[in-house]
Structure 1
């Protein structure tokens, strides 16, 4: 059984957007605002840099019970004892990732098309990252925007927890959750914010209000 996780407010790191403040300090602030899970994505730098930053993130996240997911790199996840790995359609097959990380770590997969929801792909994973809901510039090779209706169709077909991603802002909380998503994955709206704690709190408060209705 995989480790427990909460997809409600899923932060994806970006060193460019964090700027001089840096990834670790941005994440430190964002979790005070209510981030429930962090995926560390390293677009630049060496494997050594990736491991070093992931290790720092583990030091602040694990005591708070917030999982750290590593984007793509199984070796980095194992090196720092991260809570899981997230892969895309062009990365290592999920069956091999599951074999390498074992049964207790969290495994996520990106999907945008219904034909990607095959039993072989869904069987080993714990959740889907679905999007982009809107066009995004934080991932140059991202698929075309899918919108809320398609997000809802994928959620209904997958039978798994789903976190939506792609250009999401606080005002998108309600339609995203109404479409069936279990949470929102956010990059620029938090990583590039002047006050990451406040930016995260704006999302978290709206999520809480929607679920209390």
Structure 2
């Protein structure tokens, strides 16, 4: 199977981080899609961090994807949003669309997939593919075969695989049908994060 289109959104390598410093660092390395996932912020804090993240990528090719804080994303002028299933309950999709924001939605089971598809998102995320310790999950690891099943069900909508994925899994996950791989700990907890990012980006360039 050919490597996914490197010009598509989200990029095949999709980094997920929790601080503006990480956003700036990855943007300078050439990462194209960076999700800012900072939890438990009030409205003012959310607006500040989103504004700072957008400023941090100025002059780079990076696209900032705001996790959860859709109101802050609209006010700050962000272009991309990611919603979990809980976030989706609170979100005003009409306001999000009117602001010109793309949005992706997390899914973990059949019911969540149906909910996500009804919202007509720009991409669907499936996770966790493997076991992850980064956050408490009420869902067991999905496994790679689930990627193929989900992709058949969602058709042309981009599919993002997330959860415990390392660079060494990339070829198998793309071959299973994922259009993008969201990566957290393989970068942020790596002994040499910059080298790991270059490895991901280098794989993309060589295989595209």
TM-score by length of 1: 0.82
Question: Kindly tell me: are residues 91 and 25 of structure 1, through their superposed partners in 2, closer, same or farther at Cα, counting changes over 3 Å?
Answer: closer
Matches within 5 A, 1:130-169: 130-141=126-137, 143-159=139-155, 160-169=157-166
Structure 2: runs of 5 or more not aligned: 1-7
Aligned length: 199
Report the Cα offset of residue 44 of structure 1. 4.2
Report the Cα offset of residue 194 of structure 1. 4.2
Question: Which residue in the other structure is 1:68 paired with?
Answer: 64
Question: Which residue in the other structure is 2:85 paired with?
Answer: 89
Structure 1: runs of 5 or more not aligned: 15-22
SS in 1 for 2:35: strand
Task: Give yes or no for contact 1:111–1:128 (8 Å, CA) kept in 2.
Answer: yes
Tell me which of the two structures has the higher relative contact order, counting C-alpha pairs closer than 8 angstroms and 6 or more residues apart: 1
Give 2:9's match in structure 1, choosing from 5, 11, 15: 5
SS in 2 for 1:69: strand
Question: Which residue in the other structure is 1:20 paired with?
Answer: none
Report the Cα offset of residue 48 of structure 1. 2.6
CA distance in 1, matches of 2:15, 2:198: 12
Question: Structure 1 residue 181 and structure 2 residue 188: aligned?
Answer: no
Question: Kindly tell me: are residues 26 and 206 of structure 1, through their superposed partners in 2, closer, same or farther at Cα, counting changes over 3 Å?
Answer: same
TM-score by length of 2: 0.84
